[in-house]
């Protein structure tokens, strides 16, 4: 005769054992990463732009504004994935904005470089948009890809930018791990900011009134907003 009561008891032990196993397994730890581009290679002897230059917070759509690191694969480049347990310390829109403020300050590009517009109306405004910021996983060497749109305008109400550029950098990553990819992304951002600085420096030097002779006959590269 079958002990149905005992069978019932044994069936209850199965889910309890599974639950105990799940409770015993620990999830991988979370990892958090900063963006650090470093200082520009060259510092201007004199500020290029007269007045205050404000760097606005970057813009980004969808997943690009979130803290999770993103990746695609070579086999399915249109499908974007979040990295589990790997995050930026802040949204990339904040990190890229803060790094550009610091970068332009170190370059001595303007009399004052500030974060955001604040209460005072700035003489110059730099804005940015994130189009790509990701790892690209491949069977061979993986790489990182970043694409930014950067603009410089004469004051916040100017609709036509003095400079607008799309900056895209891809870098191969030798070690196929997330920290190595973050290092490569930092280097790529620094390269983009260096190119942007060179572009706006050239734009300022070529603008009307950029080279004014002083009383001693020397020339400057200061660019006035009016």
Mean of the pLDDT values across residues 120-132?
94
Say how far apart CA 119 and CA 111 lie, in whole Å. Answer: 17
- Residues 40-56: what's their mean pLDDT? 93
Contacts of 145 (CB under 8 A, 6+ apart): 132, 133, 134, 135, 136, 168, 169, 170
What tens digit of pLDDT does each residue of 146-177 get? 999 999 999 877 778 999 999 999 999 988 89
Kindly report which listed range (3-12, 52-61, 99-108, 175-184) carries the lowest average pLDDT score.
3-12
pLDDT for residue 190: 97
Query: Vertex 75, ends 69 and 81: CA angle to 5°?
Result: 20
Which CATH architecture fits 28-206? Answer: 3-Layer(aba) Sandwich (3.40)
Q: Strands, E, within the chain: which ranges?
A: 31-33, 49-55, 59-60, 68-73, 81-88, 110-115, 124-137, 142-153, 163-173
Single pTM value for the model: 0.81
Tokens of 67: 């803290």
Q: Quickly state the pLDDT bin for 203 (edges 50, 70, 90).
A: confident
Domain residue ranges in the chain: 28-206
- For residue 66, pLDDT over 90 is answered with yes
DSSP string, 80-146: -EEEEEEEESS-HHHHHHHHHHHHHHHHT-EEEEEES--SSPPSEEEEEEEEEEEEEE-SS-EEEEE
* pLDDT over 90, % of the chain: 68
Angle at which helices 92-107 and 178-206 pack, to 10 degrees? Answer: 50
């Amino acid at each position: 005769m079958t002990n149905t009561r005992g069978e019932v008891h044994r069936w209850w032990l199965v889910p309890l054992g599974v639950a105990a196993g799940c409770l015993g397994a620990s999830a991988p730890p979370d990892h958090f990463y900063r963006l650090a581009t470093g200082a520009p290679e060259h510092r201007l002897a004199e500020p290029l732009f007269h007045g205050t230059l404000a760097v606005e917070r970057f813009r980004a759509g969808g997943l690009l504004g979130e803290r999770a690191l993103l990746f695609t694969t070579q086999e399915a480049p249109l499908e974007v994935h979040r990295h589990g347990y790997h995050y930026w310390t802040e949204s990339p829109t904040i990190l890229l904005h803060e790094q550009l403020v610091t970068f332009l300050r170190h370059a001595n590009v303007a009399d004052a470089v500030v974060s955001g517009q604040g209460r005072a109306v700035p003489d110059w405004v730099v804005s940015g948009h994130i189009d790509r910021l990701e790892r690209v996983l491949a069977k061979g060497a993986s790489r990182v890809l970043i694409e930014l749109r950067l603009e410089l305008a004469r004051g916040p109400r100017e609709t036509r930018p003095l400079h607008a550029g799309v900056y895209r950098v891809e870098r191969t990553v030798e070690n196929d791990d997330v920290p190595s990819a973050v290092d490569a992304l930092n280097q790529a951002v620094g390269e983009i900011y260096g190119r942007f600085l060179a572009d706006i420096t050239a734009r300022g030097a070529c603008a009307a009134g950029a080279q004014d002779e002083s009383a001693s006959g020397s020339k400057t590269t200061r660019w006035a907003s009016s």
